[in-house]
Amino acid sequence: MSQRLFILFTSSALLLSGCASGTFKARQEQREKLAASTGMYCEFVSGDLNPDLDVELSMQMARRCDANRNFSITNYKNSSDQNGVIYCCASTKKGAVTAKKATSAPAPKAETEDPNAEVISE
């Protein structure tokens, strides 16, 4: 009897977690599409998961935000009681970034000095 309850409970938990992760993935995809079409992006950064919150916030904003546009940062506590911040910003144009990289000339290679080379004075 207890084995059947355990199996029923375990299968129910797996089914619910599978549905929840599918919903989460669909919401993430929807957010990415909206961010791409509107140019606006918002993200929650957990202070509980990231003890160096300022460093994590800077890295995420550097990846996603246009540095020349205004942004907002707000302290926030989510429904799971995790403290953190929400940042919203204008997202970078990925097409413009790749176009700049494609047109830039490669940097000239610096010649390295041989530490074993002899110096001959004239």
Task: To the nearest 10°, report the CA torsion of 70, 58, 86, 36.
Answer: 60
Q: Is pLDDT of 59 > 90? A: yes
pLDDT, residue 60, reads: 94
Report which residue type is found at 34: L
Report pLDDT digits (tens) over 63-111: 999 999 999 999 989 888 889 999 999 987 653 443 344 444 444 444 4
**pLDDT score for 32:** 85
> In angstroms, rounded to a whole number, what is the distance separating the alpha carbons of residues 43 and 58?
12
pLDDT digits (tens, 9 = 90+) for 6-55: 554 555 554 445 555 678 888 889 888 888 888 888 999 999 999 999 99
DSSP 121: -
Position 110 scores a pLDDT of 46
- Residue 78, C-beta contacts closer than 8 angstroms, at least 6 positions apart: 44, 46, 84
pTM, entire model: 0.54
Dist. CA 46–CA 84, nearest whole Å: 4
Q: Which letter does DSSP use for residue 91 in this model?
A: B
Distance between CA atoms of residues 45 and 70, nearest Å? 18
Exposed, middle or buried, 8 (CB in 10 Å: 0-12/13-18/19+)? exposed
